[in-house]
Chains A and B, each alone.
Chain A
Amino acid sequence: MKRRKLDPAEATANFAKGADDRFQAATPLRGLLNKVFPDHWSFLLGEIALFSFIVLLLSGVFLTLFFDPSMQEVAYDGSYLALRGTEMSSAYASSLHLSFEVRGGLFMRQMHHWAALLFMASIIVHMARVFFTGAFRKPREINWVIGVLLFLLGFFAGFTGYSLPDDGLSGTGLRIASAIMLSLPVIGTWLSAAIFGGEYPGELIIGRFYIAHVLLIPGILLALISVHLGIVFKQKHTQWPGPMRTNENVVGERMFPRYAMKQGGFFMAVFGVIALMAGLFQINPIWNFGPYRAAEVSSASQPDWYVMFMDGLVRLMPNWQIYFGPYSLPPLFWPAVVGLGALFTLPMAYPWLEARKLKDTKSHHLLQRPRDNPERVGIGMMALSFFTVATLSGANDVIADKFHISLNAMTWAGRIGLLIVPPIAYYLSVRICLGLQQHDREVLAHGVETGIIKRLPNGKFVEIHQPLGPVDDHGHPIPLEYRGWVVPKKMNKIGALAPAVKGFFFPVEKPAEAPVSPAPITSSKREEIGSKR
């Protein structure tokens, strides 16, 4: 019998046919392969968060194989001699075991921690990009709200995560968390007792935080991230204004192959950077902190950086206690509960507040350059400077120590700074935006400075400007309209210089003929005000 020859092309085609018979996949798949994405470096900031999250899931699963979320007291007998014989919880002992006696365990622990820090950092930078360019406007308000929720969940994922090793530092963090719960009016003691299963610290909290950290919070995070990306996909990405770009189209490149490849390459690069950091930079050396003891803490006790703003606010709060007859409201309530609440609810409401103020009900798919909405930039800078002052105050004891400043002076500087820095940031950023706007208009009206000085017959010196558009009968440029995109302001941006030659030591290929400088502006280019990229 003759063996049938297997033709790979035919086999693939048959497989594809079979798949389409069953799932009707061909038509939607065509749409997916063809989907166009706009491209700009700032659109990739959110990707860093996504990639860090994937690294978090991968490294986190590894850690669960060795971590024991139990507060059972054991005597340490591992290879770190300095702690041998010390009574500690199983959680702390297993974290030490993971760091010292599991091959590559410390590397995985540090990778998990660095990925978490990067996750939060990239979320903040991504949020800033979305905010300052107005990408949150209709129809994307819901996705903005989901983004804020992702930050909040990341905050709690981080807090529950660094509480798990039950070392000296994380126990102190838990104690403060319990105090924050206690500060709630009426229900405070009941809430703390419910979470800790009785008196602080009890014997349940590590187990409860563990299930929250490995199942509940990542489950919700995963669901919200899926919805977040799904909405981006459905609504299509925003794009910058520019030549050919309108509110009704997407100008860019198709998802496959180039865009998807760039995503994959970027993922690997982010993963590589996290691995480098995990290997080279020590983070959370829990063996130095010892097991948690209620009586022990050292100075320079700082939480992870994304919690520091809250610690800073708590440090700066004056000791204002409010009394209601026999009851009282501790000052801790304001920065920790009200402060955290406001920092999350106000940004969530912002898209609607801005739309209401501007009476704007239209859908926006074109981004705004920050300078074109100075008020928004001012408000954003206010929020960021508030966050920065609060975060720095979270480390004010370290700053005071390193720079030999009085600790009390640092606290007062933070208190005053929290009130006056944001308004200054608002004023300055609004002025800068207006100045940038004005310069754009000036170049559009008069042209680009050439650096050529001309002497007039009457002895006056003038600089010659290269008009960007047509000129009138007297040779004066006809002012152009601003289209919301970069205005070329240097002669080499409008073709006055030859294109760069490829090659490091010698040209790889013969360079193209250099154009006469300045390049003649062809009629087709007169309509555009693009960056010529």
Chain B
Amino acid sequence: MTTAHHGGTGTPVDVHDPKLTRFDIVKEGLRRDDIEIVTYESQFQGPNSKAEKRMVRSISLLFLIAGLFALAFLVFYIVWPWKFEMGHTRSDYYTPILGVTLGISLFALGIAILAWAKKLLPHELSIQQRHGDPSSDEDRLITGQTAMYVADELGVQRRPLLKGAIALGMAPLGLAAAAPLVGGLIKNPHGDPEPMMYRTGFDPVPNGNKPVRLSREDGSPIRPEDVSAGGQLTVYPAIPGGATNKYADSPTLLIHLRADDAATARAAADGDKNGRNKGSMWGNYVAYSKICTHAGCPASLYEQQTNRLLCPCHQSQFDIVDNAQPIFGPATRRLPMLPLSVDDEGFFVATSDFKDTVGPDFWERP
């Protein structure tokens, strides 16, 4: 920003002239920046107006309120019992007190500054020229030609060998820079040893080919009589860590259907088109994967009257007496059924892993 292209309007003044007031010099600066002050007037009548004094008092009061509440914040921060205790105690009010004291302090300070600017400072109306014109045609030409000249000097156009060599040299280097990031993150979702997309904790293979028992969250196995008719229980594979997030696809809902519902459900399972659910029920018990086939939330709201399972995330609904087919909402695929049986000791086991793929859908799901 030089005065060269900010000639400004009006006549320049000699800023060293001792007769000039400070405001005269300010105005000369404004002239050089192409700004014209149209109005600049005090908001009060006369230098000692009562309104001005009143406003100064109000603003001072606001500053004092800000200081007072900041002090209160500090005092409460230090002395108020802050350690959390169960039940209704004085520490419950610690956070609200901090908020109120700090909030009022900051807000009062803000209003004080705003009032100072809006009510005490003179009203002004200034006009500045934008100078939003693009660079002159000459400047554009010069800059463009300079850039072309730089390219000419480098001579990439004239030296085709260099062009090829740069491409061959730089492209691999660029790939080399990206490789650690991509390569480090990449992980084959279908690779050995664990093809993670299709296996859950109920897979008997890692369990020494023995069927995996069903267990509660605490790891205890389940007998059929533990679930009353019409009841349901979330079960996990009875393997180490089976109820943890390491086996996030394994949580299963074990449902004890009433006799008539069970008959319907069994007929539907045995008449399954692709035969995967055939014989998977045990008595009046049926077990479905709890992981919604839509987005993977646990479909955990069981409506006894309608025999529906509802996923609370996106409201997909599954009919549990019809192979858990989706009947409403965005899910397209039924919940996988876990083939159930009872072992010699009378505990529930899964005869095999889920036969359908558990969890949200994806491109290459078989």
List of B residues within 8 angstroms of A272 by Cβ: 102-110
Complex contact A183–B95 (CB within 8 A): no
A80 interfacial by beta-carbon distance below 8 Å: yes
B210 interfacial by beta-carbon distance below 8 Å: no
CB distance from A487 to the nearest CB of B (A): 21
CB distance from A253 to the nearest CB of B (A): 5
B35 touches which of A104, A172, A254 (Cβ 8 Å): A254
Contacts A295-B300, A327-B363 given; indicate if A411 touches B35 (C-beta within 8 A). no
Complex contact B234–A27 (CB within 8 A): no
List of A residues within 8 angstroms of B250 by Cβ: 294
Given the complex of chains A and B, what is the CA–CA distance between A171 and B297 in angstroms? 10
Complex contact A397–B315 (CB within 8 A): yes
Given the complex of chains A and B, what is the CA–CA distance between A100 and B117 in angstroms? 41
List of A residues within 8 angstroms of B326 by Cβ: 319
Complex contact B194–A279 (CB within 8 A): no
Given the complex of chains A and B, what is the CA–CA distance between A101 and B109 in angstroms? 31
Complex contact B312–A321 (CB within 8 A): no
B95 touches which of A73, A107, A258, A265 (Cβ 8 Å): A107
B164 interfacial by beta-carbon distance below 8 Å: no
Given the complex of chains A and B, what is the CA–CA distance between A186 and B363 in angstroms? 6
List of A residues within 8 angstroms of B244 by Cβ: 73, 87
Complex contact B110–A271 (CB within 8 A): yes
A317 interfacial by beta-carbon distance below 8 Å: yes
List of B residues within 8 angstroms of A509 by Cβ: 45, 49-51
Given the complex of chains A and B, what is the CA–CA distance between A295 and B110 in angstroms? 48
Complex contact A330–B245 (CB within 8 A): no
B313 interfacial by beta-carbon distance below 8 Å: yes
Nearest B-chain residue to A178, judged by Cβ: B296
List of A residues within 8 angstroms of B297 by Cβ: 172, 175-176, 297, 301
Given the complex of chains A and B, what is the CA–CA distance between A411 and B123 in angstroms? 55
Query: Quick one: which of B300-314 are within 8 Å of A by CB?
Result: 300-301, 310, 312-314
Interface size on A, residues (CB 8 A): 116
List of A residues within 8 angstroms of B111 by Cβ: 265, 269
**A233-254 contact mask (Cβ, 8 Å, vs B): 1 or 0:** 0011000000010011111111
CB distance from A323 to the nearest CB of B (A): 10
Complex contact A101–B84 (CB within 8 A): yes
B106 touches which of A235, A271, A298 (Cβ 8 Å): A271
Contacts A249-B127, A269-B107, A276-B99 given; indicate if A295 touches B290 (C-beta within 8 A). yes
Complex contact B249–A35 (CB within 8 A): no
Given the complex of chains A and B, what is the CA–CA distance between A77 and B110 in angstroms? 42
B84 touches which of A79, A195, A262 (Cβ 8 Å): A79
Complex contact B106–A249 (CB within 8 A): no
A257 interfacial by beta-carbon distance below 8 Å: yes
Complex contact B99–A104 (CB within 8 A): no
List of B residues within 8 angstroms of A259 by Cβ: 117
A275 interfacial by beta-carbon distance below 8 Å: yes
Complex contact A508–B124 (CB within 8 A): no
**B277-318 contact mask (Cβ, 8 Å, vs A): 1 or 0:** 000000000000011001111101100000000101111100
Q: Which stretch in B147-155, B184-192, B338-346 binds the other chain?
A: B184-192
Contacts A269-B114, A331-B332, A411-B328 given; indicate if A301 touches B1 (C-beta within 8 A). no
A433 interfacial by beta-carbon distance below 8 Å: no
Complex contact B124–A253 (CB within 8 A): yes
A315 interfacial by beta-carbon distance below 8 Å: yes
Complex contact B33–A189 (CB within 8 A): no
Q: Which stretch in A1-9, A197-205, A221-229 binds the other chain?
A: A197-205
Given the complex of chains A and B, what is the CA–CA distance between A331 and B360 in angstroms? 11
List of B residues within 8 angstroms of A183 by Cβ: 360-362
B347 interfacial by beta-carbon distance below 8 Å: no
Nearest B-chain residue to A330, judged by Cβ: B361
Complex contact A189–B190 (CB within 8 A): yes
CB distance from B101 to the nearest CB of A (A): 8
CB distance from A143 to the nearest CB of B (A): 14
B129 interfacial by beta-carbon distance below 8 Å: yes
A216 interfacial by beta-carbon distance below 8 Å: no
List of B residues within 8 angstroms of A264 by Cβ: 113
Contacts A179-B296, A317-B330 given; indicate if A184 touches B363 (C-beta within 8 A). yes
Query: Quick one: which of A317-372 are within 8 Å of B by CB?
Result: 317-321, 326-332, 363, 365
Contacts A36-B127, A363-B132 given; indicate if A257 touches B365 (C-beta within 8 A). no
Among B51, B104, B113, B291, max chain A CB count under 10 A is at B113
CB distance from A63 to the nearest CB of B (A): 15
A135 interfacial by beta-carbon distance below 8 Å: no
B144 interfacial by beta-carbon distance below 8 Å: no
Contacts A183-B362, A248-B129, A411-B315 given; indicate if A175 touches B330 (C-beta within 8 A). no
List of A residues within 8 angstroms of B328 by Cβ: 408, 411
CB distance from A83 to the nearest CB of B (A): 11
Complex contact B295–A175 (CB within 8 A): yes
A275 touches which of B1, B49, B99, B310 (Cβ 8 Å): B99
Given the complex of chains A and B, what is the CA–CA distance between A31 and B365 in angstroms? 64
List of A residues within 8 angstroms of B106 by Cβ: 268-269, 271-272, 275
Contacts A192-B189, A271-B110 given; indicate if A80 touches B86 (C-beta within 8 A). yes
Closest 4 CB pairs of A and B: A279-B99, A272-B107, A268-B110, A269-B110
- 7 extra interchain contacts, Cβ-Cβ under 8 A, other than A34-B29, A34-B35, A269-B107? A104-B94, A186-B363, A194-B186, A199-B194, A253-B126, A397-B315, A411-B328
- Interface residue ranges, B against A (CB under 8 Å): 1-2, 29-30, 32-33, 35, 38, 45, 49-51, 54, 77, 82-86, 94-100, 102-118, 121, 124-130, 132, 185-190, 194, 196-197, 217, 234, 236, 243-245, 247-251, 290-291, 294-298, 300-301, 310, 312-316, 326, 328-333, 359-366
